[in-house]
């Protein structure tokens, strides 16, 4: 503790963001400790690579849940990232904020600062949105958000079918209203995964 002002345990989603923000003040000495390895396994960075990184002891803690009576006593695999970037290095890349009302209920329950209007500026601040700046999106943040590159005719038809059943098409699941059917956006830049290690840690490692 004589050498550091802050010690962060775990360089996952939260740890990398913390390390980035704390080190903005150059008088802070920050130590970030990660139990997993470096994120130099190539499949981490290729979006579909989660098929190679989940359940792989190189990048996943490979936890299993306790057998559950309500599930016929089976235990299920419960992946958690074990590398720089943590679970943001092995996750499904979906960029979907919560529902407006859920945040507001948190605030009503006494959590000052957690209502939708309170958190939205931070979502915007965090984001580098490929579609550009708007009421709900930012372009100056470290977390790159992009449209999916592949659209499949079957999925397009699924959306048409949903619309016939009264579920509207939507192009944006990040306005606080998640009702609708459409392609979600992903935390990617130029076709590569934007984990928090890539977005928040790499730029400040020096």
Give residues in contact with ligand FAD (CB under 6 A): 9-15, 33-36, 54, 79-82, 86-88, 90-94
Q: How far is CA 32 from CA 20, 26, 88, 202, in A?
A: 10, 15, 16, 13
| Rounded distance between C-alpha atoms, residue 30 and residue 14, angstroms | 14
Residue 54 or 181: which CB sits closer to ligand FAD? 54
Q: Dihedrals φ, ψ of 159, to 5°?
A: -65, -40
Residue 69 or 150: which CB sits closer to ligand FAD? 150
Minimum distance between the CB of residue 85 and ligand FAD, rounded to whole angstroms?
7
Minimum distance between the CB of residue 101 and ligand FAD, rounded to whole angstroms?
19
Return the number of other C-beta atoms located less than 10 Å from residue 206's C-beta.
5
Minimum distance between the CB of residue 39 and ligand FAD, rounded to whole angstroms?
9
Residue 138 or 145: which CB sits closer to ligand FAD? 145
Residue 99 or 164: which CB sits closer to ligand FAD? 99
Apex 148 CA angle, 153 and 203, nearest 5: 170
Minimum distance between the CB of residue 31 and ligand FAD, rounded to whole angstroms?
11
The DSSP string of 84-114 is TTGGGGTS--EE----HHHHHHHHHTT-TT-
Minimum distance between the CB of residue 192 and ligand FAD, rounded to whole angstroms?
16
| Rounded distance between C-alpha atoms, residue 86 and residue 196, angstroms | 8
Residue 44 or 90: which CB sits closer to ligand FAD? 90
């Amino acid at each position: 503790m004589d050498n550091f002002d802050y010690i962060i345990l775990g360089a996952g989603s939260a740890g990398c963001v913390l390390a980035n923000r704390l080190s903005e003040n150059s008088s802070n000495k920050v130590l970030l400790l990660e139990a997993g390895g470096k994120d130099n396994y190539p499949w981490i960075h290729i979006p579909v690579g989660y098929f190679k990184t989940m359940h792989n002891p190189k990048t996943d803690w490979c936890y299993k849940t306790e057998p559950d009576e309500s599930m016929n006593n089976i235990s299920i695999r419960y992946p958690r990232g074990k590398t720089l970037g943590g679970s943001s290095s092995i996750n499904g890349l979906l960029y979907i904020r919560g529902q407006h009302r859920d945040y507001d209920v948190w605030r009503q329950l006494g959590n000052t600062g957690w209502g939708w209007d309170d958190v939205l500026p931070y979502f915007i601040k965090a984001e580098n949105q490929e579609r550009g700046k708007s009421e709900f999106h930012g372009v100056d943040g470290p977390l790159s958000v992009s449209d999916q590159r592949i659209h499949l005719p079957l999925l397009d038809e699924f959306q048409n079918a949903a619309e016939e059943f009264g579920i509207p098409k939507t192009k944006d699941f990040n306005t606080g209203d998640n009702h609708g059917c459409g392609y979600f956006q992903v935390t990617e830049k130029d076709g590569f995964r934007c984990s928090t290690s890539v977005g928040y840690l790499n730029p400040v490692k020096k």
